Amino acid sequence: MENNAPKIDYLKGIRDFFEKGLGPAKDFSYSIIRCDAEGATIDMPYQADLAISKSDGAMHGAVLTTLVDTCLGMAALTKSAGTRPIATVDLRVDFLRPSKTNRDIRSHCVCYHLDGDLAFAEGTVSDKTSGEILVKAMGTFMLGTKGPDFSKLQLKSERS
């Protein structure tokens, strides 16, 4: 059986892009825990300025959606063993419960099917402390769209 797992060199490019280069990832302090053909895992620390309100403390739904979309896309990209740019075609997000104040969150996603230029992924966002699932999501991604080629990516901080 042929091993189609991505090469480590561009996995580092993918990781660096998502952690240091992509706006939401950088702005929300994502930490990539896992990024390979078996799935993606991203941790995000609690940030009071991203809460719905100061009295409530729950992270805003758009923040949770951005996290899971990023993680789903990363899972799709690494499963496809490619460096081609991708775009979200369809995203379904089910909010099961709000996050809790001062609790970090984790998204874990897997790509379960590839079909030509389409990738299908599913995942969750959970409370990192309790493991309680906050969000379930499914996404469809188009491979080979306009955007960064991860095999040629060079971050601004690396250019001299």
Cα 26 off chain centre by: 12
- 114-142: average pLDDT: 96
pLDDT tens digit string along 73-107? Answer: 989 988 887 667 888 999 999 999 999 988 999 99
Give me the pLDDT at residue 139, please: 97
Give me the pLDDT at residue 82, please: 67
Domain 8-154 has CATH 3.40.50.1000: no
Q: Taking Cα atoms as reference points, which of 58, 65, 6, 8 lies closest to residue 37?
A: 6
pLDDT band at 160 (very low <50, low <70, confident <90, very high): very low
Average pLDDT of the chain?
A: 82
Sheet with 118-127: strands ordered across: 31-36, 39-44, 105-115, 118-127, 133-143, 86-95
Give me the pLDDT at residue 49, please: 87
Beta bridge pairs of residue 35: 40
Report the distance separating Cα 53 and Cα 33, nearest Å: 29
Report the distance separating Cα 113 and Cα 61, nearest Å: 27
Q: Where are the domains of the chain?
A: 8-154
